[in-house]
Amino acid sequence: MIKMIWLAEPQRFQPHQLSFPAMMAKEAKSHLTVVDTSAWRSNPVPVYINDPVFPTTNYTIPDIIPPGKEHDAESFRKSLETTAQEAGIEVEFVDGSQAYVDNLADLSRFADLIMVNTSLALSPGDDHNPTDFVMSLLPKMQCPVLLLPDDQQEIKELIFTYNGGYSSMYSIRQFAQLFPGFRNLPVTILYVEENEHSIPYERELKNWLAAHYDNYSFKLLRGEPSSALMTELMWRKNVLVTFGAFGRSKLSRFFKGSNAEGVLQVIDIPVFITHP
Amino acid sequence: MKKLLLVFDGRYYPETLLRFVLRIREGSAVSVRAVLLNSTDMTALWSFPVAPGTGAPYVPPIPDVTDEAQEAEANADRITQWLMDNNLSGTCIRQSEGPVFETIKKESRFADIMLLCGDHFFAHFGHQPNDYLKQTLHISECAMILVPDNAPFPERTVMAYDGSAASVYAIRQLAYLLPEMCNLPATFLHAGEGGDVPYAELIVDLAERWYPNAHWEHLLSSKRDQLSEHLAGLEDGLVVCGAFERGVISQFFRDSTVSRVIKSQNVPLFIAHH
């Protein structure tokens, strides 16, 4: 049975947030391991400004957790259990200690999928989308990561980004291995034409797709890969997209050195990322 | 549906691999792509500065090309007929020209499992594992099963575990690709100094999720030499290991051990790396 981990943020938990992880767990016939990330949060740090005109002042970056929303593990669990029961899945709780986050890379080695909301932040100033914490996770993980937007979407289509390379195909194959039940969904292969004007290994790819998906099509984009993908994906909803490699460093190999973060910042759909 | 890739020297008819394909199909639907490779690939000269398996300068044997073409043609026809007789979807292609390793790399990128014959894979280039086989295991981009001649279909599995990412990856890949094998008796074999199994809690959790009939064996690394004998003696087993000549070679299940198991030619190997 697949081990599926969801990194949950109890202070901002809303029952609807569970619907997508629950749907994926059901699809994979798995139960869901929910990790409480409360202990990972750092306290607000005062910031000092030395201004030549105004006297030295200090202020604290406001926390994104609303005041009064202190962590209450017990009520979080109860709320999650109720929601999980309604969704028809089993959940297992893990208290995420600081040691857990320190060892997350090793732990991911033994997991099949890690799901994380793009808004999961561990420090008050981390308000990017995806947050710096989420971006820092990606290169370290040793299993696929599914980035979840905050609004929950039913998946009606799959988009596989493809560049002919090993890493894009690796990601597509990993997705198919974990979620064979999606074979009936329409699949679009997105290929960005840069120098080559035909899809690399098109015949071989079609041959593989035919064995795994009933309905697939190709879409060719033109231009610089990350810009073309941004334009294509930024308005999309109800789709899940796979990306081949985030790379071991912050720069993506898939985008051949351009900034993958840019694409992740503008799209608002579930993103499946893995790297060989 | 799993896409199985069979690659072999075009002069050889892969009876053992075809038998394995039929047994795998009993567990899950498969499509087959058989690729008959050019057995006289001169471009491989670039990969081997010396004759494979020797210290001598490389002087490739020049088999009778006409004979090879005829043999490969006949084998391709037989396999196509075999696919039809067994009601299997698939294709059989002859790669009579072009570099062997480029073909294997490309084909394995678009396959789920690659099956290789452990005894006959470019056998004219030396005893197994010869450099052709080693290079193939190294560059492959999908999971592989190395099947020795006359090996029975596995009745049990042996997971070579040392805590490394590579060994865990292979154990997970077997579960994804051949889930029907998860119910076979599975031995998780750990080798190392002392008795501590690395990440014991996590690997036990993984084993319980995927392999309900798992049990553990521990082998002291001081008895390293016994490992290959131990593995090679498992005639009805499938040895699952994670790396072959990769940068991150597992501490204990390293090349020499895997090579010895291949050399023994009687136990199938499932190798997955990324």
Top pLDDT among A146 and A266 is at A146
Top pLDDT among B147 and A150 is at B147
B3 touches chain A (CB under 8 A): yes
Q: In the predicted model, what is the mean pLDDT of chain B?
A: 81
Instruction: Give the residue on A whose Cα is nearest the Cα of B91.
Output: A207
pLDDT score of B58 more than 90: no
| Contact indicator for A112, A6 with CB cutoff of 8 Å | no
Q: Evaluate the CA torsion angle A124, A125, A127, A133 in order and state its sign.
A: negative
What is Dmax (Cα atoms) for chain B?
59
A211-215's contacts with Cβ under 8 Å and 24+ in sequence apart are A211/B1, A211/B2, A211/B3, A211/B31, A211/B112, A212/A176, A212/A180, A212/A183, A212/B1, A212/B3, A213/A158, A213/A176, A213/A183, A213/A185, A213/A187, A214/A183, A214/A184, A215/A184, A215/A185, A215/A186, A215/A187
Q: Cβ contact (<8 Å) for B165 and A208? A: no
- The beta strands (E) that lie in B58-184 are given as 89-95, 113-117, 143-147, 156-161
Report residue B236's pLDDT band, with 50, 70 and 90 as the boundaries. confident
Distance CA A117, CA B99 (A): 46
Query: Among the listed ranges A24-28, A231-235, A265-269, B37-41, which one has the minimum average pLDDT value?
Result: B37-41
Chain A residues near residue B274 by CB distance under 8 angstroms = 170, 276
Chain A residues near residue B106 by CB distance under 8 angstroms = 201, 204
Q: In the predicted model, what is the mean pLDDT of chain A?
A: 83
Measure Cα distances from A173 to A67, A238, B24, B112, B256 in Å. Answer: 44, 21, 19, 8, 30
Q: Which helix (H) or strand (E) holds B36?
A: strand B30-37
Question: pTM of the full predicted structure?
Answer: 0.87
Distance CA A244, CA A274 (A): 6
| Contact indicator for B45, B148 with CB cutoff of 8 Å | no
Mean pLDDT of A109-135: 87
Instruction: Give the residue on B whose Cα is nearest the Cα of A201.
Output: B106
Contact map slice: B 98-117 vs A, CB within 8 A: 106-107, 109-112
Q: Cβ contact (<8 Å) for A169 and B112? A: no
Looking at CA atoms only, how far is residue B171 from chain A in angstroms? Answer: 10
Which amino acid makes up residue A81?
E
Contact map slice: B 228-247 vs A, CB within 8 A: none
Q: Cβ contact (<8 Å) for B33 and A106? A: no
Mean pLDDT of A120-126: 80
DSSP state of A44: P
**Predicted pLDDT of residue B109:** 95
Residue from B227, B163, B218 nearest B187 by CA: B218
Residue from A242, A244, A117 nearest A185 by CA: A242
Report residue A248's pLDDT band, with 50, 70 and 90 as the boundaries. very low
Mean pLDDT of B18-26: 94
Query: Among the listed ranges A51-60, A174-183, B124-133, B177-186, which one has the minimum average pLDDT value?
Result: A51-60
Residue in B1, B203, B209 closest to A1 by CB: B209
Query: Among the listed ranges A125-134, A204-213, A215-224, A228-237, which one has the minimum average pLDDT value?
Result: A125-134
